[in-house]
């Protein structure tokens, strides 16, 4: 029994993750993503907003949520959920982002304030 518990402890040591270092990287990436829009360059804003957000999400999923050490079917479930979310967005985006159409009403909170 002691060999089993010792084996489990050594297994945990092999997969040690330095959480402080990852947190520092996340804070640095946050600072870059906040500073990006200050240059008022459209492509730079898009890269810093979405590109860095994807990198940070990947770091959180792989390091903090330990999805790489879970059984493979957990990864399949997460990927399937992401694919369905993207399909849903792609299906409704043309209607939701349209500014005009049949029986389309602009919400009052989006209307300009009359002077």
Residues 14 and 60 in one domain: yes
Indicate whether 112 belongs to any domain: no
pLDDT above 70 (res 55): yes
pLDDT above 60 (res 89): yes
Residues 81 and 59 in one domain: no
Contact 62, 68 (CB under 8 A): yes
Rounded Cα gap, residues 60 and 54, in angstroms: 10
Residues 46 and 10 in one domain: yes
- Domain count of the fold of the chain: 2
Residue 91 lies in domain: 71-98
Q: What is the pLDDT of residues 3-37, one digit of tens each?
A: 444 444 444 444 577 899 999 999 999 999 899 88
* Runs of H (alpha helix) within the chain: 2-14, 19-35, 42-46, 52-59, 72-96
pTM, to two decimals? 0.59
pLDDT (0 to 100) of residue 88? 96
């Amino acid at each position: 029994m002691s060999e089993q518990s010792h084996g489990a402890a050594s297994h945990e040591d092999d997969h040690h993750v330095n959480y402080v270092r990852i947190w520092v990287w996340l804070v640095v990436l946050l600072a870059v993503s906040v500073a990006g829009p200050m240059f008022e360059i459209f492509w730079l804003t898009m890269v810093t907003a979405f590109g860095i957000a994807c990198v940070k999400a990947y770091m959180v999923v792989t390091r903090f949520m330990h999805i790489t050490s879970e059984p493979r079917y957990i990864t399949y479930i997460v990927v399937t959920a992401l694919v369905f979310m993207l399909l849903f967005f792609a299906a409704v985006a043309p209607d939701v982002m349209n500014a005009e159409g049949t029986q389309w009403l602009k919400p009052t909170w989006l209307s300009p304030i009359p002077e």
